Structures are given as structure tokens and as C-alpha cells.
Amino acid sequence: MSTLEREMRSQSRASKTKQRRDGSRTPSGHSNYNTEDEEDYGEELNLDSNFSKKLDELLRSRTENSPVRSDNASDGFSSRSPSRTGVGSSAIGNGSLSSRSSSINVKKYNNIDEELSDDRSNSVSSANSATKINGIADIITALTSRRTQVSSASREVLFAELYNMIVRNPVPACGEIINENDLNYLISFIKTSRSDWEFILALRATVAYACSDIDEIATTVMESLFPYLLKKISPASNTENITTTTSANTNKSNLPSASSGDEVSSFIRSNCIMAYGSLSLVIMDGSGCAGIEEVGELLMDVIDGYSNLDTTKKSNGNQDTTNNTDSDDYDIQVVVNSLNTIGVILTLMFKGRNSTQGLDDFIQDNLPRVFPLLETGINPSIQKSAARLTALMYEVFDYQDDYESGYTDDDDDDNSLEPYYDVDEVLNTINQLIRNSSKKISKKDKKETRSVLRDVSKTIEKYSTKEERKKIFKSEKSEINDDDDNQLVLGRLKLSKNKTLPITSWFQHIRIFFLRWIFSNGLHSHLANSKNSEIRELLEVKDERYSSAGGKGNTSYYDDHGDSTSSGWGNETKKTNSKTKTMQIRTARDLKLKSKFGDLSLEDNDL
């Protein structure tokens, strides 16, 4: 082999390695639908790269310089908050984080000079053994210290480390206990934050903490955090008519004040919208989620409130806006996040309710409000989010087809219910965007937008005709999909070196957006961990439209693609409560008796 051939092979391998980074798609598994390179799903999920940059910056600041301590520094962490219980102060030493040594600013937390091990077996200690952080509880204890001891800059570093701990590995699997006491502290940290970045870091850490084991603290989230987030989300003009879906005990005192909306920056509002959608997804999945339509209407009003912004303005691209929280990009992000959260609300209504009446009404009322965001000249990020939401609406809408009672291929489509009165107008608008050749849009944005729009167009065409819906019905009923080779693959989420998760529905697509926002690059660990099956169950699709006719009813990727080599995913048994376990034991005993003595046909009065 010549030297040139070796160099070419080396470059080819390096290119493939780069493409197979966490979250990127693998070259295998291309469907016949996709004639060009599929969309990089991992890159598309990176909703706010500025957060990742800020997080990396704070985590690096721990080790860049040696710790500096003022001679007049107070005892720092040694004076623990008297109300903090359950964590000993012995893990926290002298105050090398004292705000009096302000000259080192954000680098005050440099006494944490080594990364936590993956199993958290090794504590993180300072160079002078002044501070030891053994786990999540220790960081929360440190954050309860007065600001005269731990400055705002140091608190940002602590929040960054806290978030990093939570998302790296599932908290319950590492021996940590999710509890209401710590959650209440985290919520109080959000409310008392003094800068935008301190607020965002506290919010992201709190959401990740809560979603790690939501069953333990769901009530606290709904009663304490949901009303606060809705205050931040709500425009001032709509606060009087908002009703929250937090709990039955929510009263008017929890509703947003008339001035709350005007005081919130777009940077804060966009993240609060994502936080509300993420927590709603994890808490309300599978439930009736009564009243959540009102939150969807609120988000549509938020979108309308930003209708006057310059949506044609291009993103800052490679410009670093990490510390610029007033950037116009965040106005656009408010619209994008609102559209995505409305998508999550649709999936909750679709999966959790026995009747689709409320879901269909919501779609028919709001799709005409979403449709103008697809027009030419709108910011590409908004166009893509609006297009995804439109595709999801067509996917989950109940067309009320009855294929088992005299359906013929000649039936008129005009008799069917539709999400939008003119599907041709929707398709023409989307196809026009695909052909758009505006020079104001970069080649990269054009390629990504066209890839999304093509998938959206195929979805709408698939669900807007009875004949295509009949094929879906037949495949669901027979539990065999004869059209697997032509199945639309929207993206692939990399779970490990050799395993990827194909995303084959907009239902899954929008939910992975939010799971990635919650757990960032640690999502694969939470999906793969056998003790955290609740996260995996969020991707299961429950379709009542076909279950009554003999279909699957409840399908998931793990049912269709699971095998004995998939880390237990395909054979994982769901958690059961005590009542279900008792019934299972009783049934097993009855079967054992019947197998031994036969069916004696005994009645209760014969005993």
C-alpha cells in the first residue's frame, strides 16, 4: 500500500469517527425516503449552544488556577444554614470560596481540582483539603451559605457542577436520594438568583434533579414550581385569564401578576418555557392532564406577542453570545420553544386521554395560527419548528375512519375530519419553502430546513388521504409492517458506540427534544440504565385509534426492535405496585393448583 493510500484511508477513518460522535447519526439504516444525507439529529437537538459553552467555561474554571484564599476570609461553608438537615458539615471545610477574595471572581471554586469519577466513589477535594464535595447533597449544602461567604460567581460554578453530577449518571443508580427537602432548596435558589445565568443554571439543575425520580417530588413541583414558571412565561396582557394545571389546591394567589410578564427577559422566558414543557412531559405522561389545553393557548398567545419581531433576521451564527442575554436571538428562541412545548402538550393529550375530542378541537383551533409561521421570509428556526408541529398535528389527529364497517377505496375524502380545511394549501406552502433559493439564508440552514420540510411534507401526504391511513391501519392491526423499508426515519439518537435509536414518528421526535434539554449529553446514560425505565417509557406511543380494532394499542421502539443483546431493553419488565403484585401472585397460585389438580370448578359456597 502506498503512502498516499495510507493517508487517504487515515483521513477517511477520521471523518467517519467525527460523524459518529455522541448524538450524530450512523451511516447505516438509511430509509428509501431519504435520498440525501439524513439530518444530524444530535446537532439539531442542541437547542441552546450558549448554555453548553457557559457550562464548559464554568467547569474548566475549577482547574485553571490554584485556589486563592484571603487571610480575612470567613469560615465559608463551615457555617451551614441552620435549616439545612440531613447533610453533615464535616464534608465542608474552611471558606476558600469566600467572596472577600473577589479578585479571582469566577475562579473561586478552583479548590475542586479534579473531575468526579463516573461512579462518584472518589470525593472531590481542594488542593489544601479545605473543601470536599462528595455528592449532590454537599453542593446543595454549600449553596445554602450566605452570599457574603459564597458569591454569585462561585454559586454559578456550584450550579454547573451540580448539573454535571446529575446528568452524567442517573441519580438513583448512584445511591443518591431525591427528596422534597432538597428540591425546596433548589426552587428557592431559582427564586433568589441575582443574575440571568445564575437563574438559568439553577433552573436547569433543578429540572434535571426533579426528572431523575419524579415520583418522589411530583406534588412539590406542581404546587411550588409550576405556578412560578407560568408567571415567567405569561405575557402581562394575558395574566388575568390564565388558569394553571398545577394542582387542585391552586388558587388565584398563585396566578401571574399583571407586571410579571413585562419584567422577564426573552432569555429567561425561553428557558422557563422549556422547563415547564420538560417537567410536564415527565410528570403528566400517561395521565389525563386536565386543563393543559389552557397552557397551550397561553403559549400561542406568547407567540402572537412576538409576531412583530424581525423574524427574518438571521441568527448570529458563530458569533459568541454566551454572555449577551439581551440578544435578539432569544426573542426567536421564545417562539421556537413555545412551538416545541405545544408539541409536547399534544403528545400528552394524545397518549393520556381516552377521548380525542379535546385534542382534535385544539388542533383545528390552533393550526390556522401556526400556519402563517411557515410563510416565506420567516426565520428558518421558526419555520422548522412550525413545520414539525404541523406534521405532529397531522400525525396525532383522529380522523375517525371506520375501516371495518363497509369502507371502500372509492369513499370520498371530503367526508373525513381534517386538521386544516385546505391540505393542498399547506403542502404548497411547504413545497415552496423547499424550493426557496433566497441568498439571505446560509447553505447550511437551507440544507437543514429542506431536510425537515421534506419529512414534514411526506408525513402530511401520508395522513391526509384515507388510502394511506388505511395502510397504517392494516399494518397496526396485523402487527406486521410490510413497508419497513420505506419507513420514514426522522433521525437517529446515538446511545452507545454500536447502538442507535431510530426516531420514526414526530411523537418521539418532539419528546427527545425535551429529554435532551433535560439531560444534555447524559441522555444516553439515562436511557440505557435499567433502573430508570420511566425515562424510556416516555418514548412509547399509545395509539387508541387502532387498539379497539385489534391493533397493538401501545407500541414502542423496544417492542419492535428490542432483543436479548440490547442491554435488557427488549425484555425489561415494567415496575408494578403492591396491588398488581398481589394479583399476579394470586393468579400464579391458581394456575399452579389447576396444573396439579385440574379444574375442580369450585365456587365460594363450596368451600
**Contact between 188 and 155 (Cβ < 8 Å):** no
**In a domain? residue 295:** no
Q: Which grid cell sits at 256? A: 401571574
pLDDT digits (tens, 9 = 90+) for 426-471: 999 999 988 877 767 777 777 888 888 999 999 999 998 888 877 7
Burial class (CB in 10 A: 0-12, 13-18, 19+), 108: buried
| Highest mean pLDDT pick, 305-314, 359-368, 489-498 | 359-368
* pLDDT at residue 540, rounded to an integer: 80
| Highest mean pLDDT pick, 116-130, 357-371, 487-501 | 357-371
For cell 428557558, name the residue: 271
- Name residue 501's beta-bridge partners: 493
Of 124, 121, 128, 200, which is closest to residue 159 (Cα–Cα)?
200
The 8-class DSSP code of residue 470 comes to: H
User: Does residue 376 register a pLDDT over 90?
Assistant: no
Q: How confident is the model at residue 601 (pLDDT cuts 50, 70, 90)?
A: low
Domain count, the chain: 1
Distances in Å between the Cα of 501 and the Cα atoms of 181, 519, 562 are: 36, 16, 11
In b/e form, how buried is each residue of 384-423, taking b as 16+ CB within 10 angstroms? bbbbbbbbbbbbbbbbebeeeeeeeeeeeeeeeebbbeeb
| Mean per-residue pLDDT over the chain, rounded | 70
Q: How confident is the model at residue 343 (pLDDT cuts 50, 70, 90)?
A: very high
What is the 3 state secondary structure string of 17-37? HHHCCCCCCCCCCCCCCCCCC
Q: How confident is the model at residue 279 (pLDDT cuts 50, 70, 90)?
A: very high
Plot region of 31 (φ>0 → left; ψ -120 to 50 → alpha; else → beta): beta
**In a domain? residue 604:** no
**In a domain? residue 160:** yes
**End-to-end distance of the chain based on CA atoms, in angstroms?**
86
Q: How confident is the model at residue 392 (pLDDT cuts 50, 70, 90)?
A: very high
Of 115, 212, 216, which is closest to residue 160 (Cα–Cα)?
115
Q: Name the residue with higher pLDDT: 18 or 25.
A: 18
CA distance 274 to 336: 10
* pLDDT at residue 181, rounded to an integer: 93
3 state DSSP class of 183:
helix
**In a domain? residue 588:** no
3 state DSSP class of 461:
helix
**Portion of the chain with pLDDT greater than 90, in percent:** 29
User: Does residue 395 register a pLDDT over 90?
Assistant: yes
| Highest mean pLDDT pick, 31-40, 50-59, 423-432, 566-575 | 423-432
For cell 407586571, name the residue: 259
CA distance 80 to 519: 30
* pLDDT at residue 390, rounded to an integer: 96
Any residues with CB less than 8 A from the CB of 439 and at least 6 apart, and which? Answer: none
Q: Which grid cell sits at 605? A: 359456597
**In a domain? residue 394:** no
What mean pLDDT do residues 539-545 have?
68
From 2-11, 140-149, 158-167, 345-354, the region with the lowest mean pLDDT: 2-11
From 143-147, 319-323, 380-384, 430-434, the region with the lowest mean pLDDT: 319-323
CA distance 496 to 567: 11
Distances in Å between the Cα of 368 and the Cα atoms of 184, 364, 386, 418 are: 41, 7, 11, 12
**Contact between 440 and 314 (Cβ < 8 Å):** yes
Q: Name the residue with higher pLDDT: 325 or 87.
A: 325
* pLDDT at residue 244, rounded to an integer: 41
**Contact between 298 and 242 (Cβ < 8 Å):** yes
Q: Is the pTM of this model over 0.85?
A: no
Burial class (CB in 10 A: 0-12, 13-18, 19+), 115: middle
* pLDDT at residue 345, rounded to an integer: 96
**In a domain? residue 508:** no
Stretch (H or E) spanning 502: strand 500-503
User: Does residue 316 register a pLDDT over 60?
Assistant: no
User: Does residue 603 register a pLDDT over 60?
Assistant: no
**In a domain? residue 14:** no
User: Does residue 284 register a pLDDT over 60?
Assistant: yes
Q: Name the residue with higher pLDDT: 186 or 150.
A: 186
**In a domain? residue 125:** yes
Q: Name the residue with higher pLDDT: 408 or 140.
A: 140
What mean pLDDT do residues 91-100 have?
38
**Portion of the chain with pLDDT greater than 70, in percent:** 56
CA distance 459 to 343: 15
* pLDDT at residue 74, rounded to an integer: 38
* pLDDT at residue 352, rounded to an integer: 82
Q: Name the residue with higher pLDDT: 518 or 567.
A: 518
pLDDT digits (tens, 9 = 90+) for 548-586: 433 334 444 444 444 333 333 333 344 445 556 666 677
**Contact between 132 and 30 (Cβ < 8 Å):** no
Identify the domain containing residue 170 by its residue range.
Answer: 61-212
CA distance 436 to 446: 8
Of 216, 191, 164, 174, which is closest to residue 51 (Cα–Cα)?
164
User: Does residue 313 register a pLDDT over 90?
Assistant: no
What mean pLDDT do residues 70-96 have?
39
Q: How confident is the model at residue 182 (pLDDT cuts 50, 70, 90)?
A: very high
